Amino acid sequence: MDRTNGAPTSGARKAGVARPSSPGRRAFLRTGAGVAGAAAAGAVLGNGGPAAAVAAEADPAHLPPNVPWWTQYLGDGVAARPYGLPSPYEAHVVRRNVEWLTATTESSVNFTPIQDLHGFVTPNGVCFERHHGGTTEVNPAEFRLMINGLVDTPKILTMEDIFRFPVESRFYFLECAANTGMEWRGAQLNGVQYTHGMIHCVQYTGVPLRVILDQVGVKPNGKWLMCEGGDSSGMHRSVPLEKALDDAMLAFAMNGEMLRPENGYPLRLVLPGWEGNMWVKWIRRIEVGDKPWHTREETSKYTDLLADGTARFFTWEMDAKSVITGPCPEKPVLHKGVNQIKGLAWSGRGRIKEVHVSTDGGRNWMQARLPDPVLNKCLTCFNAEFEWNGEEVLLQSRAVDETGYVQPTMQALQEVRGVNSIYHNNSIQTWLVNKTGEVENVRLG
């Protein structure tokens, strides 16, 4: 055994040299699965970038009975990583965007890599971003929240003021109303990151909005709030007072640290269960009024066009929805025999009650397991098992929430709404596992 073989110099180690990158699933499929022929491997590669690269070839010098270099030599000291980052082997777990969707990246969206995440909490660095004027950088010392309109005392609050109010910490999902919006007319994007990745779920910490409103005294005729961002689009939405007094909060932290700039640092609105567009980031002002404002984002956008040419407006709640995040196009089935199905379910109207899983395109369903916790307006993990014998399988999941709402089929949604709604597509997703173990986004009929 050559004990020095494979040990990089310290410089090389720092640069990550000699550590296998992620050459993709081709090698993995070829060597790991034993079910994928060359043709299948080629097809999977063609399916594109978000490769579920798990491991590349292992160097025998690093395997038993040999002792690898990391077992012999010192690693980084505690001063080397003052803010830790994921392992370089996880470099594929990143947000991705779809260039052709928008004219610019400043007014655009990217997608959470839900196929590579575990549990229901989204790490802060991969929470999807939706901006209308780019990421806004605000110095907290220069942050001001103005509250005016139909109030007894218009006020200005600083972050220091905000920190002195009572706080709460709660887990909530945030889903863009346009999540899955590219799939109305058919299966279009071949990856769960793109079809369902406009969602994140974090523990938000902040001040209940009703506590803040108590400080200004909402006048009796005050029924609506206009919440306005301090970004270069001045993103603003009308919010009914009832929601503000119910479970809305002004959050300054996510998953235990201050908000990331991409997600509204230093203060954002949190409206549990409601469409993400309304969760105003970098919030600078709340105006109280007696009627809604009908802003651009609640008229021209975020209204749901129906087949007859009329459009629904103020479609705030996110309907119950679920999706299988493995297997999925980025996560092929690699082994015959027992396989685990995992996925996420959520509802803007409360808790998830049941998730059903089908392996035959919705003809027959089984109950999925729902490991604790099942929280209100929060992502809920589900899982189930299936035996794969190498035949084609049509995987689906279907969520039911505590109100009894059942996640519908696309056909059922299209019968009511047509195909031009863009927003609020919560239909059942189908993944086809083909005979090579590749997984495709398909539409059934």
Partner 1 sequence: MSVLARTLTRGVAAGALVLGLGVSAAVAADLEPGKQYDLGRAATAEEIAGWDIDLRPDGADAPIGQGTPIEGEDIYLTQCASCHGEFGEGMDRYPVLFGGEDTLASHDPVKTPGSYWPYASTLFDYIHRAMPFGQAQTLTADQTYALTAFLLYINFVIDEDDFVLSNENIGEIEMPNRDGFIPDDRPDGQPEMVCMSDCDVGTEVIGRAAIIDVTPDDDGPAVSID
Alpha carbons 200 and 115: distance in angstroms, whole number: 12
The reply to whether 364 sits near partner 1 by the rule CB under 8 A is yes
Phi, psi dihedrals of residue 34, rounded to the nearest 5°:
75, 5
173 binds partner 1 (CB under 8 A): no
Q: Is 7 or 109 the residue whose CB approaches partner 1 more closely?
A: 109
- 83 near partner 1, judged by CB under 8 A: no
Determine which residue in the list 26, 155, 223, 336 makes contact with partner 1, applying CB under 8 A: 155
By C-beta, is 184 or 388 nearer to partner 1?
184
Q: Which of residues 5-34 bind partner 1 (CB under 8 A)?
A: none
424: helix, strand or coil: coil
Cβ atoms of residues 82 and 66 within 8 Å = no
Residues 96-125 interacting with partner 1 (rule: CB under 8 A): 96-104, 106-107
Peptide bond preceding 123 in cis form (omega within 30 of 0):
no
Considering only CA atoms, give the Rg of the chain: 24
Q: Of 262 and 304, which has the nearer Cβ to partner 1?
A: 304
Q: How far is the CB of 67 from partner 1 (least distance, A)?
A: 39
- 8 CB burial (10 A radius; 0-12, 13-18, 19+): middle
CA of residue 235 relative to chain centroid, distance: 21
Contact call for residues 386 and 393 (beta carbons, < 8 A): yes
Angstrom distance (rounded) from CA 162 to CA 139: 15
Minimum gap (Å) between residue 35 Cβ and partner 1: 18
Candidate segments 54-62, 86-94, 264-272, 298-306, binder of partner 1 by CB under 8 A: 298-306
| Residue of 6, 54, 62, 293 interacting with partner 1 (CB under 8 A) | 293
Query: Is 135 near partner 1 (CB under 8 A)?
Result: no
Q: Which of residues 244-283 bind partner 1 (CB under 8 A)?
A: none
Which two three-digit tokens encode residue 345? 């379910």
Residues in the chain: 445
Cβ distance to partner 1 smaller for residue 106 or 246: 106
Among 206, 329, 332, 437, binds partner 1 (CB under 8 A): 329
Interface with partner 1, residue 81, by CB under 8 A: no
Is 148 a binding residue for partner 1 by CB under 8 A? The answer is yes
Residue 344 CB, nearest approach to partner 1 (Å): 20
The yes or no reply on residue 91 touching partner 1 (CB under 8 A) is: no
- The whole-angstrom separation of Cα 358 and Cα 55 is 30
User: C-beta of 427: minimal distance to partner 1 in Å?
Assistant: 8
Q: Is 191 in the site for partner 1 (CB under 8 A)?
A: yes
CA distance 360 to 186: 19
| Chosen residue from 112, 122, 315, 322 binding partner 1 by CB under 8 A | 315
- Rounded to 5°, the CA angle 283-287-292 comes to 110
Q: Is 95 in the site for partner 1 (CB under 8 A)?
A: no
Return the DSSP state at 10. H
